[in-house]
Amino acid sequence: MLTGLLLAAGSAGRGLIDLDLTSLPLVGEMLAEHPTIAWPLLMLAIGCGVVIGYITVFSLLAVYAERKISAFMQSRLGPMEVGPYGLLQTAADGLKLLAKEDIIPRDADKLLYIIGPIFVFTGVWLSFVVLPYGPDLIVADLNVGLLFLAAVASIEVVGVLMAGWASNNKWALFGTMRMITQLVSYEIPIGLSFVAVVAISGSLSMQEITLDQQGWFWNWYLFRNPFLFVGFFLYFIASLAETKRAPFDLPEAESELVAGFHTEYTGMRFSLFFLAEYAAMYVVSATAAVLFLGGWCTGFAFIDSWMMESAGFQRVLANVVGLTSITIKAWFLVAVMMWLRWTLPRIRLDQVMYVCLKVLLPFSFGVLVFSTLWELVTDGTLFGDWWPLFQFLISIGGFGLLMMNFMAKERPYDIEADFRPLRHSEVHAAPDAGARG
């Protein structure tokens, strides 16, 4: 957040020079000289307000959806009392949290305890600045957009460290250590997936990455080549860990660590973490949608070209279509995340590290190298205009063959191999481990 502010302060300095207002440092004088500047500023404020409202509504709905989905998967009804079908349950919970007592533990480091949640919350929500929602719907189309996402994510890590350390509670500290280890490790495969996409788009701007995927859905980067197809799944798995969703939810494993790094937080401060968590789910899903699923593009060439060419009222309509498109894609990925939560068991810390360092890392290296090579060799147009369609078929075909290969292998399910308990030799790494007879 501080970053954004400072970055912005730096550029505001530059912007003023561009406007040739270098002799007018005071905003009041500036407005007196250029009364038209007030109007865009007001529009901007309304725009930012709308985006914040969008995130809030998403978070409330996502919490509701998670409770409903988990209920249906367990043959329950879920929230039913507040509002029709329990729709207002989350809002009621929010009000309840607002009225809770705000406790700061006696031994906590007061300053860090207070700014920790604000850091995390602002860090995550600031990501929405660079997410595109339509041809004209983006708060700030930075030309380092994708890197900005990574940078604010690293600020969030610092916020978690502050909160967890300041709580002065051993469960919070254990949760923090686990969480930082996990977040930091999975940032590498995520960064490599970013690079693989950037190598094809040639730009870090989220809007330009989206525009590069216009037309039929086989133009999406997901089907750009067989390697990026794999890259999407690598990114998705890594983003599960990045948002500490199951099966990677061990930083806040409630059965062993109470609640992880926010064990000591109550009321509104807790709900800030909660809102940040659900917003982060949207951020990674929308990022996946932009990078691999065409962002706000619909996947139909005639609609996309209409969206770009329309003007006036049609342009507004085009933006609504774009917003709907990216919202559906992001919600689909969020729904998959929730589905996974109630399907897969939580894994151990050593397994988390194994998945990251020995599976995702080498694979994303491979994806990067081979996807770049493929791009250089085919040059995007090997067989003329229909090459994207060929690439789409190659990607799908390759994946199908892989799946058939998997299914053809008759493997008796070996629970010992998949979830084997720790051995004695691993628990007690004593030199006489081999001497057990």
Partner 1 sequence: MAAADVIFLVISIIAVGAAALAVTRKNPIYSALFMMVTLLVVAAVFQMLSSPFLAVMQVLLYAGAIMVLFTFVIMLLSLRPEEMGETAPLPQRIFAAVVALGVFALLAFPAIEPGVPAAAASLAPPAAEAVRFPPAAGTGDGATVEFGATAYFGHTIFGRFVLPFELVSILVLAAVVAVMVLAKRDLSKRDVADDGSDRDPPPLSVSAAHAGSIASLATSTQPTSHGPGA
Partner 2 sequence: MESYAPLALFAVLLIVMPTSMIVLSRLLGPRRETEVKGDPYECGVPTWMGARNRFSVHFYLVAILFILFDLETVFLIPWAIVYKSIGAVALVEMGFFLAVLGLALVYVWRRRGLEWE
In whole angstroms, what is the distance from residue 367 CA to residue 224 CA? 12
CA distances from 230 to 67, 74, 328, 330 (A): 31, 32, 22, 19
Other beta carbons within 10 Å of 4 = 17
Instruction: Give the interface segment with partner 2, choosing from 73-81, 122-130, 218-226, 403-411 (CB under 8 A).
Output: 122-130
| Contact pick of 51, 55, 108, 161 for partner 1 (by CB under 8 A) | 161
| Contact pick of 78, 83, 105, 398 for partner 2 (by CB under 8 A) | 105
Instruction: Tell which positions 399-428 bind partner 2, by CB under 8 A.
Output: 426
Instruction: Tell which positions 1-30 bind partner 1, by CB under 8 A.
Output: 2-3, 6-7, 9-14, 16-17, 21-25
Other beta carbons within 10 Å of 1 = 18
**CB-based burial, 254-285: b 16+ in 10 Å, e otherwise:** eeebbbbbbbbbbeebbbbbbbbbbbbbbbbb
Cis peptide, bond prior to residue 35, ω within 30 of zero: no
Judged by beta carbon distances under 5 to 8 A according to partner kind, the member of partner 1, partner 2, none in contact with residue 100 is: partner 2
In whole angstroms, what is the distance from residue 341 CA to residue 61 CA? 17
Judged by beta carbon distances under 5 to 8 A according to partner kind, the member of partner 1, partner 2, none in contact with residue 265 is: none
Instruction: Tell which positions 367-406 bind partner 2, by CB under 8 A.
Output: 368-369, 372-373, 376
Contact in structure between 96 and 274 (CB atoms under 8 Å): no
In whole angstroms, what is the distance from residue 343 CA to residue 15 CA? 51
Distance of CA 254 to the CA centre of its chain: 23
Instruction: Tell which positions 38-67 bind partner 2, by CB under 8 A.
Output: 44-45, 47-49, 51-52
Contact in structure between 341 and 230 (CB atoms under 8 Å): no
Each residue 183-202 as x (binds partner 2 by CB under 8 A) or -, in order, gives: -xx-xx--xx-xxx-xx--x
| Contact pick of 24, 88, 92, 258 for partner 2 (by CB under 8 A) | 258
CA distances from 210 to 118, 177, 189, 197, 233 (A): 31, 36, 21, 11, 19
Q: Taking the chain, what is the end-to-end CA distance rounded to the nearest angstrom?
A: 60
In whole angstroms, what is the distance from residue 346 CA to residue 335 CA? 18
- At residue 133, φ and ψ (nearest 5 deg) are -115, -10
In angstroms, give the least distance from the CB of 148 to partner 1.
Answer: 6
Closer residue to partner 2, CB minimum distance, 93 or 264: 264
| Contact pick of 61, 69, 91, 147 for partner 2 (by CB under 8 A) | 147
Closer residue to partner 2, CB minimum distance, 45 or 403: 45
- At residue 299, φ and ψ (nearest 5 deg) are 95, 0
Q: Which residue has the tokens 């216009």?
A: 214
Instruction: Give the interface segment with partner 2, choosing from 26-34, 115-123, 217-225, 397-405 (CB under 8 A).
Output: 115-123
Instruction: Tell which positions 351-380 bind partner 1, by CB under 8 A.
Output: 358
| Cβ-proximal residues to 418 (8 Å cutoff; 6+ apart), any chain | none
Read off the tokens for 211. 């525009």
In angstroms, give the least distance from the CB of 51 to partner 2.
Answer: 7
Judged by beta carbon distances under 5 to 8 A according to partner kind, the member of partner 2, partner 1, none in contact with residue 17 is: partner 1
187: closest CA among 176, 197, 179, 175?
A: 179
Judged by beta carbon distances under 5 to 8 A according to partner kind, the member of partner 1, partner 2, none in contact with residue 112 is: partner 1
Read off the tokens for 281. 């789910």
Each residue 110-149 as x (binds partner 1 by CB under 8 A) or -, in order, gives: --x-----------------------------xxx--xx-
| Contact pick of 173, 258, 344, 353 for partner 1 (by CB under 8 A) | 173
**Is residue 69 at the binding interface for partner 1, with CB under 8 A as the rule?**
no
Judged by beta carbon distances under 5 to 8 A according to partner kind, the member of partner 1, partner 2, none in contact with residue 151 is: partner 1
**Is residue 195 at the binding interface for partner 1, with CB under 8 A as the rule?**
no
**Is residue 150 at the binding interface for partner 1, with CB under 8 A as the rule?**
yes
Contact residues for partner 1, defined by CB under 8 A: 2-3, 6-7, 9-14, 16-17, 21-25, 109, 112, 142-144, 147-148, 150-151, 153-155, 157-158, 161-162, 165, 173, 176-177, 180, 184, 204, 358, 423, 425, 432, 434-437
